[in-house]
Amino acid sequence: MNTFGTLLRLTTYGESHGPAIGGVLDGMPPGVPIDEAFVQAELARRRPGQSDLTTARHEDDSVELLSGIFEGKSTGTPIGFVIRNKDHHSTDYANLAQVFRPSHADFTYTAKYGVRDYRGGGRTSARETASRVVGGALAKLALKLHGITVQAYTSQVGSLVLPNDYTAYDLSQIETNPVRCPDAALAEEMAALIRRVKAEGDTIGGVVTGVIRGLPAGLGEPVFDKFHARLGAAMLGINAVKGFEIGDGFQIAQARGSEVNDLFCADESGHISTLSNHSGGVQGGITNGQDVVFRVAFKPVATLLRAQPTVDLNGKPVEVKAKGRHDPCVVPRAVPIVEAMAAMTALDFLLMQRAVK
């Protein structure tokens, strides 16, 4: 519901136009050095208003860490935190109180709860994901002690697609452009496309690719808690996500086993690995020690700055045109969210493995 994880558990709270959002991260291992500047920097990657490709809403997203940290290290007790909302224009949403926006959560929330907070989407707003980024940043600090890293980048916007896999690019270049694409030339094309779409009052989708490096073999359960199944659930729980694939994904359905089997080999010291990674680092639901590579598809943002037909609360046909400040493409700001959910998933499995071995 509002809690993610098994041993590492993040519970989030708050709405887009409420006084604050925040969360409680429980299960964080004790003794992890907490770099508050790093946590804040991760939030800065997700915050609104960082470029002309994103919503113009301005939020500093300053996080207050309230508990679970003493003398710069985690204590093992719950880490509570809060992020104050400052720049919300609730009046921009007054015209949406009685209508259901196309492809938005207005109708489904009303069907489920009988009431909804229409100001900025309330709890359905991607503003909630700032709390996930805090949890993910803390998880990254714990994973760092084990040599495990998580990186994501924009690999597609609309029909513009990076032609190669992650090994062909310098991922240290991801933060050098507002699209967060490691190919500078394609990043410029993606940015231009997003600006054109924005000028038309429309939106566009894309894909974020994620890579988890340094995971040991043996994480995950063979039946209901497969590593990639939990990772997929983590990604599909992000706003606007409509697809998840790992390794060769759907392309593997066109191949023969002889083309995509990952053959095992061993080095002189007896360390076992595979010659390829079509499986994306997971076999039988359990990590095999290779990089975990996955892709996450984001739909175009549902809120358009152009008129669309819909119905009101009584089913009467009406026309709706959104006001306010919205992302024309969610993908660039989604990159740190994908990383955060992947980091928490990885740390959770690491803790679960410790419990049984």
Could you write out the DSSP letters of every residue in 189-228?
HHHHHHHHHHHTT----EEEEEEEESPPTT-S-SSTT-HH
pLDDT tens, residue by residue, 65-115: 999 999 999 999 999 999 998 866 556 666 778 888 888 888 998 899 888
The reported pTM is 0.94
Report which of 158, 212, 182 is spatially closest to residue 331, judged by C-alpha positions: 158
Q: How many CB atoms lie within 10 A of CB 59?
A: 19
Residue 117 near residue 15, CB atoms below 8 Å: yes
In this predicted model, what pLDDT tens digit does every residue of 274-315 receive, in sequence order? Answer: 999 999 999 999 999 999 999 999 999 988 888 889 999 889
CATH architecture of the domain 3-356 equals 4-Layer Sandwich (3.60)
**Contact by Cβ (8 Å): 335, 47:** no
The structure tokens 């706003």 sit at: 239
* pLDDT-derived band at 133, boundaries 50, 70, 90: very high
Where in the chain does DSSP place strands (E)? 3-4, 9-14, 20-26, 63-65, 69-70, 73-74, 79-84, 149-157, 160-161, 206-213, 241-246, 264-266, 272-274, 282-283, 286-287, 292-298, 308-311, 317-320
Instruction: Say if residues 230 and 345 touch (Cβ distance below 8 Å).
Output: yes
Q: How many CA within 13 A on the CB side of residue 222?
A: 0
pLDDT single digits (tens) 153-198: 999 999 999 999 999 999 999 999 999 999 999 999 999 999 999 9
Reading the block at residue 256, the tokens are 């023969």
pLDDT in the model for residue 43: 95
CB 245, CB 197: distance < 8 Å? no
Question: Which residues sit opposite 14 in a β-bridge?
Answer: 21
φ, ψ dihedrals at 323, nearest 5°: -115, 180
Judge contact between 126 and 331, C-beta under 8 A: no
Instruction: State what percent of residues in the chain have pLDDT above 70.
Output: 95
pLDDT at 186: 97
What distance in Å separates the CA atoms of residue 107 and residue 115, rounded to the nearest whole number? 10
- Average pLDDT in the chain: 92
